[in-house]
Structure 1
């Protein structure tokens, strides 16, 4: 396997939640819908807000990677939902679908792009840098989801 193929393979594993941390699917598996808006122990975010934030940020990094002219949402206001819970199960479902679809699109992008080339109109960012950014950002917030589930005593044993 040549070096670039190995790097792409490792990036895919990392972006899918492999290695040292769980992925989003595992972090939310079996989570009751009625607990999505809970903020135990006065934590600042609910699981819904964390998952929706992951969706928005990942979408933004994908779009920026595809088009250096992409206009990002206003930080931090437009990266975090105001509501602590989704309005209904359809909104939750749609959020999860977009996360999956955007991640799949980003995985396709890393396979078809020069990982090291600077993204036009960026500040030195590359697809490789954005891949690490998505993986790091998602892992951070997924860990918060696991902690919230543990505090609510609804984490897998």
Structure 2
């Protein structure tokens, strides 16, 4: 298995990773507008098939009204037949190394349903206790997702995205 980080992802690779997508992404997020990401860390099998993915990009947020850049993580996917093999840990290690170097930010953030908090905690993320707002159909709304971070972020301040979540 190899892991690569690249800008962009081939449509055929994304389709292969998500062709079972009715089970890929949490139901809670299917009706939401999401920000696209430009960067992708992809795990490939020995047969050169994409078997795992994490998308990421740099976003500006306001933390207690102060602008700050963070790395937004989205599109965490591992094909069912490869789950339980430690692929997310490899991908998160790759993202944490590559994103800091390429995008110049050292705080990683993601959105998830409450039931996935312990899963992301295993990757070094902790829950943000303050309110988080993001755009939906041009309006600022309070997030119903957990906002998690890896790296120094105020523990309970208000976070306002200037975009849709990632």
| TMscore range, shorter length | under 0.3
TM-score, normalised via structure 1 length:
0.23
Higher RCO (CA-CA < 8 Å; seq separation 6+): 1
When the two structures are superposed, what TM-score results if normalisation uses the length of structure 2? Answer: 0.22
Larger Rg, first or second structure (1 or 2): 1
Higher strand share: 2
Higher helix share: 1
